[in-house]
Amino acid sequence: DSGVTQTPKHLITATGQRVTLRCSPRSGDLSVYWYQQSLDQGLQFLIQYYNGEERAKGNILERFSAQQFPDLHSELNLSSLELGDSALYFCASSGGPGLMNTQYFGPGTRLTVL
Amino acid sequence: GESVGLHLPTLSVQEGDNSIINCAYSNSASDYFIWYKQESGKGPQFIIDIRSNMDKRQGQRVTVLLNKTVKHLSLQIAATQPGDSAVYFCAETGGTSYGKLTFGQGTILTVHP
């Protein structure tokens, strides 16, 4: 158990809908990262927050957004969902903002868009 | 863009053998490398990491080797066990990537009893 929690574990929804994925980092970690894992793209970095501020951005679609709250939990919002958004979404956390802080991953949320 | 790639997508070994999983990276600015293990239905699990100022690091039954000259990374697992069966990913970060990890494709390791 990495100490990172994610809810829900599974999510099934329809195209055009909006969903929110939630992540609680390990106790004491200030950085939260979101990744998408799909069969054709592998594990792709989406976005990083550090202590409530956006720190780095990957190939995150404009339909996707995230935030980190004062209690350090984070939410990833996916809107106008398309079939291709079906994937595993992982959250990771680390103690610091920088390059060499080990990222520990949560169990993921499996999103299925029908 | 630059990415991390794996030479072998699958590796099958007998229990008790040593396993070697390889990874090539192309970003010369990479200075921190991590190996993750992902079991079915679970998130990536940290195994071992290495910084660019080192060429070898050992953990429990695992060793990571880094060859910066040829931009190559390997994970050695000693006395491989059935519980080691999983997908193994190398990841790298460095330069202007800040906290972003770039993952390789992954290698499926299957250990036969």
For the stretch A44-90, pLDDT in tens is 999 999 999 999 999 899 999 999 999 999 999 999 999 999 999 99
- Does residue A99 carry a pLDDT above 70? no
Query: What DSSP string runs through B20-77?
Result: EEEEEE--TTEEEEEEEEE-TTS--EEEEEEETT-SEEE-SSEEEEEETTTTEEEEEE
Q: Copy the structure tokens of residue B9.
A: 């997508």
**DSSP letter (8 states) at residue A75:** E
Instruction: Assign A39 a pLDDT band (cuts: 50, 70, 90).
Output: confident
Mutate to test the interface with A, among B100, B103, B105, B107 (most CBs of A within 10 A): B100
- Does residue A96 carry a pLDDT above 70? no
Which of chain A's residues have a Cβ under 8 Å away from the Cβ of B94? 99
CB A44, CB A61: distance < 8 Å: no
Which of chain A's residues have a Cβ under 8 Å away from the Cβ of B42? 107-108
Instruction: Assign A98 a pLDDT band (cuts: 50, 70, 90).
Output: low
Q: Decide if B99 and A105 are in contact by the 8 Å CB cutoff.
A: no
Question: Which among B34, B43, B103 has the least Cβ separation from residue A2?
Answer: B43
pLDDT, mean of residues B12-20:
96
Q: What is the pLDDT of residue B4?
A: 53
Q: What is the pLDDT of residue B2?
A: 45
Q: What is the pLDDT of residue B5?
A: 43
CB B44, CB B34: distance < 8 Å: no
Question: Which among A33, A42, A99 has the least Cβ separation from residue B105?
Answer: A42
Which of chain A's residues have a Cβ under 8 Å away from the Cβ of B106? 42
Q: Decide if A43 and B89 are in contact by the 8 Å CB cutoff.
A: yes
- DSSP H or E stretch at residue A9: none
Q: What is the pLDDT of residue A42?
A: 85
The CB density around residue B2, as the number of other CB atoms within 10 Å, is 13
Q: What is the pLDDT of residue A27?
A: 92
Q: What is the pLDDT of residue B98?
A: 64
Q: Decide if A108 and B42 are in contact by the 8 Å CB cutoff.
A: yes
With an 8 Å Cβ cutoff, is B25 touching chain A? no
Instruction: Assign B112 a pLDDT band (cuts: 50, 70, 90).
Output: very high
- DSSP H or E stretch at residue B11: strand B10-14
Please name the residue of chain A whose CA is at the shortest distance from the CA of residue B43. A107
- Does residue B7 carry a pLDDT above 60? no
Instruction: Please provide residue B78's backbone torsions phi and psi, each rounded to the nearest 5 degrees.
Output: -85, 145
